[in-house]
Amino acid sequence: MLINCVAYQGGIKLADIPVEDISEYVSRPDCFVWVALKDAENEELVKLQEEFGLHPLAVEDALHGHQRPKIEEYGDSVFAVMHQIEMLDGELQVGEVNIFVGKNYVLSVRNRVQQDFIGVRKRCEHEPDLLKHGSGFVLYALMDAVVDRYFPIVVTLEAELETIEEKIFVKGSARANIERLYGLKGKVMVLKHAVAPLMEAAGKLHGGRVPGVCANNQEYFRDVYDHLNRINTSIDNIRETIGTAIQVNLAMVTIEESEVNKQLAAWAGIFAVATAFAGIWGMNFKSMPELQWEYGYPIALIIIATACSFLYARFKRSGWL
């Protein structure tokens, strides 16, 4: 679906134009066209491929989707793929943003993404001194918007991890904690797969041989790279903390099992004493003097109860019961 198609010249918006008029505007000096699509149909992309002269391999990647985040050069044009992460009902949803950038055009295609880039366009239009840098600045603005949307996700994941950490030492919660930690680990990996490849690709836009369309905006792309580096560091810290928390939870499981084993051993010891006395007096030998005592039975019970009570008190004092 076509969201908008706008022509700019010298950093100033000229007009919203139909797709059929794109070729007229891109031929003007110091003019570029910015087109935005959402869940584009094949026919729409093919039409814009003809208007802008997009490379067929880049168009093929955009049509197939599910690409790894990357930035590729095709002659004097750049093709960027980014993952947009959205938190919906506690789960991460992964969308894809494809951006085609040439000297006189920008085409952004977002698939499976709820959040739009209307605010990005307004921001660019309110900064004509920067927008006059051309399509390279628009690429920066779109990348910056996608990357900035990673920060709230990181904060949410950190908060979820802190909540789990608070319950680590709650007795009987080890299994639930481990399940939640592994669920959180999966979310972190989703974000990691979006950030790490993009950080590697973004490094090519501010140092060394920079693509021509990005040459006048290197300091801005360096800022994007710095943001990605910060996010990647936070992700690594979360992953390390999750690993530590899982080890602590496993240790807590071992401790709880040890406590249960001590209780079982203590009760077994108590009943072993009672069983020993009962076994001795239950042998029924004819010459056993205790069998003839009038008060032998109650005395035997008192001795057994006293021995068991003594053992119970000792185990209780030592923390086994």
Task: Decide if 272 contacts 193 (C-beta within 8 A).
Answer: no
Condensed to tens digits (0 to 9), the pLDDT of residues 256-289 reads 777 777 777 777 777 787 777 777 667 666 666 6
Say how far apart CA 303 and CA 301 lie, in whole Å.
Answer: 5
Helix then strand then coil, in percent of the chain rounded to 5, is 60, 20, 20
pLDDT for the residue 166: 87
Looking at CATH, the fold of the domain delimited by 256-317 is given as Methane Monooxygenase Hydroxylase; Chain G, domain 1 (1.20.58)
CATH of span 1-129: 3.30.460.20
Give the pLDDT confidence score for residue 252 in this predicted structure.
78
> Measured between alpha carbons, how far is 73 from 70 in angstroms, rounded to an integer?
10
CATH 3.30.460.20 segments of the chain: 1-129
Name the phi and psi angles at 131, rounded to 5: -65, -25
**Location of structure tokens 């802190």:** 162
d(C-alpha 282, C-alpha 162), whole Å:
60
Dihedral, 277, 283, 285, 290 alpha carbons, nearest 10 = 30
The predicted model gives 165-183 an average pLDDT of 85
The per-residue pLDDT for 150 is 94
What pLDDT, in 10s, does the model give residues 216-248?
888 899 999 999 999 999 999 999 999 988 888
Show Cβ contacts of residue 180 under 8 Å, excluding neighbours closer than 6 positions: 160, 164
pLDDT of residue 284: 67
Cβ(238)–Cβ(161) below 8 Å: yes
* pLDDT 10s digits, 26-73: 888 788 999 999 988 888 888 898 888 889 999 998 888 788 999 999
Q: Please give the pLDDT value at position 188.
A: 94
pLDDT digits (tens, 9 = 90+) for 100-158: 999 899 999 988 888 888 899 998 989 888 888 888 999 999 999 999 999 999 999 99
Strand 31-38 and strand 70-74: the pairing is unpaired
What is the model's pLDDT at position 290? 66
Cβ atoms 59, 42 nearer than 8 A: no
What is the pTM for the complete model shown?
Answer: 0.79
Structure tokens at 99: 């951006």
Closest Cα partner for 18 from 32, 35, 31, 1?
Answer: 35
What's phi and psi for 318, nearest 5 deg?
-85, -5
- Range of lowest pLDDT (151-165, 240-254, 300-314): 300-314
Rg of the chain over CA atoms, in angstroms? Answer: 35
Residue 132: CB atoms within 10 Å: 15
Q: Are 154 and 191 in contact (CB under 8 A)?
A: yes
Q: What is the pLDDT of residue 287?
A: 62
Amino acid identity, position 280: I
The DSSP output letter for 41 is -
What is the per-residue pLDDT for 40? 83
Residue 203 · residue 221 · CB < 8 Å = no
Closest CA to 243 of 195, 184, 197: 184
- Every domain of the chain with CATH number 1.20.58 lies at 256-317
Q: Which residue has the higher pLDDT, 86 or 207?
A: 86
- Residue 225 near residue 140 (C-beta atoms within 8 A): no
Residue 12 has pLDDT above 80, yes or no: yes
